[in-house]
Amino acid sequence: MHVSDFDYELPEELIAQEPLAERDHSRLLVVDKRAESFHHTLFSQIGAWLSPGDLLVFNDTKVIPARLWGRRLPGGGKVEVLLLSPRSADQWEALVRPGRKVPTGQTLAFGADGELTALAEERTAFGGRILRFNRQGADLRASIMKLGEVPLPHYIKTPLQNFDRYQTVYARTEGSVAAPTAGLHFTPELLQELNAAGIKTAYLTLHVGLGTFRPVKAEVVEEHQMHTEYFQISTELAAAIAATKAAGHRVIAVGTTSVRALETMGQEDGTVRAGDGQTAIFIYPGYQFKVLDGLVTNFHLPRSTLLMLVSAFAGRERTLAAYSEAIRERYRFFSFGDAMLVL
Please check whether residue 156 lies inside any domain of the structure.
no
Q: What is the DSSP letter of 213?
A: T
Distance CA(69)–CA(90), nearest Å, equals 18
Do 89 and 170 belong to one domain?
no
| Residue 133 neighbours by CB under 8 Å, 6+ apart | 90, 91, 92, 116, 117, 118, 140, 143
| Residue 147 neighbours by CB under 8 Å, 6+ apart | 65, 68, 110, 111, 116
The residue segments making up the domain with residue 25 are 3-63+162-342
Provide the number of structural domains found in the chain: 2
Do 316 and 197 belong to one domain?
yes
Do 255 and 168 belong to one domain?
yes
> Which pTM does this prediction carry?
0.93
Please check whether residue 154 lies inside any domain of the structure.
no
Domain containing 119 — which CATH number? 2.40.10.240
Do 56 and 98 belong to one domain?
no
pLDDT in tens, the chain (343 residues): 999 999 999 999 999 999 999 999 999 999 999 888 899 999 999 999 999 999 999 999 999 999 999 999 998 899 999 998 888 999 999 999 999 999 999 999 999 889 999 999 999 887 899 999 999 999 999 999 999 999 999 899 999 989 999 999 999 999 999 999 999 999 999 999 999 999 999 999 999 986 766 789 999 999 998 988 999 999 999 999 999 999 999 999 999 999 999 999 999 999 999 999 999 999 999 999 999 999 999 999 999 999 999 999 999 999 999 999 999 999 999 999 999 999 9
Do 202 and 256 belong to one domain?
yes
Residue 82: per-residue pLDDT: 93
Residue 172: per-residue pLDDT: 97
Element containing residue 201 per DSSP (H, E): strand 200-206
Distance CA(70)–CA(72), nearest Å, equals 7
Do 49 and 116 belong to one domain?
no
Domain containing 207 — which CATH number? 3.40.1780.10
Residue 86: per-residue pLDDT: 86
Q: 307, 173, 162: which is closest to 233 by C-alpha? A: 173
Crossing angle between the packed helical segments 316-328 and 305-314, to the nearest 10 degrees: 110
Residue 64: per-residue pLDDT: 94
